[in-house]
Amino acid sequence: MAASVHELRPKGGDSEKITINLGYVDLGHIDLLVQEGFYGNRTDFIRTAIRNQVERHADAARQSMTRKSLDVGLRHYSRGDLEAVRASGRMLDIRVLGLASIASDVAPELARATIASITVLGALQASAAVKAALADRTR
């Protein structure tokens, strides 16, 4: 029987876990909608509500992303990317809406030598040492 079970969505790197506090009445409304079959579970309801609000404000968000020059989605910086930046004598101003990741083999010294500032609206994945090295440059 276990051989016929397939994972539909991989766990881990494609999302970030958050915690929210809700009043009992709001939670009861969510549970009622789940019970009535409108949503599969509380998480489905919350994800749908968030997506609806993001869509509702999409025009304003697009204007803000353009104004702030944000890269949208996933932006990965490898050690080779940062070594090329250092060789060119430039510094990066990283601005990402989504997920910014810095490879695990990037040394803190290389990150400091190549990243002037980092702004991430979403999540930053980097080693603890790199995050610490960039703490004064992170907004």
| Sequential DSSP letters for the chain | -GGG---SS--STT---------HHHHHHHHHHHHTTSSSSHHHHHHHHHHHHHHHTHHHHHHHHHHTT-EEEEEEE-HHHHHHHHHHT--EEEEEEEEEEE-TT--HHHHHHHEEEEEEEEEEE--HHHHHHTGGGB-
Same domain, 132 and 69: yes
> How many other C-beta atoms can be found within 10 angstroms of the C-beta atom of residue 17?
4
Same domain, 36 and 77: no
- Would you place residue 14 in the very low, low, confident or very high pLDDT band (cuts 50, 70, 90)? confident
Average pLDDT over residues 85-91: 97
Q: Domain containing 25: what range?
A: 19-56
Average pLDDT over residues 129-138: 97
13 in a structural domain = no
- CA distance linking residue 74 with residue 22, whole number of Å: 30
Average pLDDT over residues 65-74: 92
pLDDT surpasses 50 at 77: yes
- CA distance linking residue 26 with residue 83, whole number of Å: 51
Same domain, 85 and 51: no
Same domain, 86 and 42: no
pLDDT surpasses 70 at 13: no
pLDDT surpasses 90 at 3: no
Same domain, 47 and 82: no
Same domain, 26 and 77: no
pLDDT surpasses 90 at 5: no
pTM attached to this predicted model: 0.72
Q: What is the pLDDT of residue 91?
A: 97
Same domain, 44 and 68: no
Same domain, 68 and 130: yes
Same domain, 36 and 72: no
Higher local confidence (pLDDT), 12 or 125: 125
Handedness of CA 3, 9, 11, 17 (dihedral sign): negative
What is the total count of domains within the chain? 2
